[in-house]
Structure 1
Amino acid sequence: MLAPVPRPTDPLAVRCSRALLSPRSRLSLLALVLLTAGSLVLLYEPQRLLASGWPGAGGAGAVLLFALAYGLCTAAFVPRPVLNLAAGALFGSAAGLTAAVAGTVLGAGLSFTLGRVLGQEALRPLLRGRWLRAADGQLSRHGFRSMLAIRLFPGVPFAAANYCAAVSRMGYVPFLLATAIGTVPNTAAYVVAGARADEPGSPAFLLSAGFIVLSGLAAAVVAWRKRHALRRPATAAAAPAVPEREPVAAP
């Protein structure tokens, strides 16, 4: 029996496949996905659906469904504080915290995957600025420690941290583990505040609200100090060097 004759490869099909799978094409697809997600959030405001009219808010299935919706919403740039307050209002402190943390890890993993698959190859050659190179080196070498610090301080936007980590060489495990651990304190404060929103004078509500305010102030102070610390080397490098004077011989 004669062996099948291999067909010659179509050069047009090869060029089209290479163009579609190129880093720039994948980056354009990522931008389109994010733009579509942001537009849908502005159009439909899914955070309102999470806070009202949630079906069967007392069962485990509802908690799981909320966590899935939470993850999708965070990947679509819905602010996490709103979702955390909704989790506390719907499920109480314990179940609300479980749903919020699970949704946070799910949304972070989804954003990280999109950024890693669609954007990393195209964006890594653009890391030429001093701040960008420093952030990439810190995340690549000390991924867990750096991401844990980012998650503990609420000053860095959640989505921005996800996509910056995706562009770096950080692995999935340290990224997700640091996210799961580092987001618990701030998430718990918002969830408790949402669960006790009908009792604004209760100790639990006051403690959670105080923690939110203090953590925000601490993040602002750390960001201010880091900004000035990064400015000093640039100022020192830009300053012209003063030549030393040669000693004058005595007559």
Structure 2
Amino acid sequence: MIKITVLLILAAFLVVMNHFVFQIKPEDIKAAVEELDGAAPFIFLGAFLLRPPPFTLLPLSIIAVSCSLVFGPVLGFVYIVTGTVLGAAASFYALRTFAGGGSLEDNGRENLLAVKEKMEENGFEAILMLRLLPVLNFDLLTYISAKTEVGFWKFLFATAIGTIPGSLMFGVFGSSLLSLKPVNLLFLGTLAVILSMLGWIMKKNIEQQIDTETLKEEVQAIRREARA
């Protein structure tokens, strides 16, 4: 809920700043994209897929908002989902194939073991729920999934479906930054409220079984071990 509130405040701030200071028009963005001669989609997909410098330091949300700002709500949404899924697939494969160390079964990691068991019992539903919940960030969940016996295709399909609500919100959000469109902002606000309510209900349910804060700490510890 806090993240979505910050997102809405940021949207209002950027709309006001653009209106009075930057005065960037949608036509300016369109002209800049056309100058790239069709390379723009591949640049964004590459940013999602590989996250090379300087994109490594950027959250996926920033890349997603920029994508929808450039391509609009429809194409932006398509590229966000496509890029996010491709990036998750590449990370999952690389982690499972090349990354070593950091076993989930080490002592003292009860929350990770609980998540591992749920994923291996019912991988698709478990990953889908965690993708929809604001419990773990995107990369941490990919890391945990790669360390379990969850099948690649279950992971990929759950990620694709779980990415849709957030991608839709980012698509509308980014495309609304240059001009104050009441319809888009109303849609964004409604979607944000619905996602917040569903996320809060689902988070309360999962927190009855797992200490999510401790889970984050356990995952970070494993990642440090893997890099050591």
The correspondence for 2:179, drawn from 199, 207, 217, is: 199
Q: After superposition, where does 1:1-251 map in structure 2 within 5 Å?
A: 57-58=33-34, 60-73=38-51, 76=56, 78-119=58-99, 122-126=102-106, 129-230=109-210
Cα deviation for residue 230 of structure 1 reads 4.6
Cα deviation for residue 224 of structure 1 reads 3.4
Aligned length: 180
Amino acid in structure 1 at the alignment position of 2:88: A
Cα deviation for residue 77 of structure 1 reads 6.1
SS at match of 1:148: helix
Deviations 1:179-218 (A, max 9, x none): 1121012111111111122333421222123323442353
Structure 1: gaps (5+ residues): 1-51, 232-251
1:86/1:141 Cα in 2 relative to 1: closer, same or farther (>3 Å)?
Answer: same
Structure 2: gaps (5+ residues): 1-27, 212-228
Cα deviation for residue 221 of structure 1 reads 4.0
1:79/1:124 Cα in 2 relative to 1: closer, same or farther (>3 Å)?
Answer: same
Which of the pair has more CA radius of gyration? Answer: 1
Report the aligned-residue RMSD: 2.9
CA distance in 1, matches of 2:31, 2:88: 25
Amino acid in structure 1 at the alignment position of 2:50: L
Bigger CA drift: 158-167 or 123-132?
123-132
**Residue 196 of structure 1 contacts residue 202 of structure 1 at CA under 8 Å; is this kept in 2?**
no
CA distance in 2, matches of 1:64, 1:127: 44
Which TM-score applies when normalising by structure 1? Answer: 0.62
Cα deviation for residue 135 of structure 1 reads 0.3
1:127/1:97 Cα in 2 relative to 1: closer, same or farther (>3 Å)?
Answer: farther
**Residue 197 of structure 1 contacts residue 205 of structure 1 at CA under 8 Å; is this kept in 2?**
no
Cα deviation for residue 134 of structure 1 reads 1.1
CA distance in 2, matches of 1:141, 1:127: 21
CA distance in 2, matches of 1:55, 1:162: 36
1:192/1:167 Cα in 2 relative to 1: closer, same or farther (>3 Å)?
Answer: same
Bigger CA drift: 104-113 or 53-62?
53-62
Which TM-score applies when normalising by structure 2? Answer: 0.67
1:201/1:127 Cα in 2 relative to 1: closer, same or farther (>3 Å)?
Answer: farther
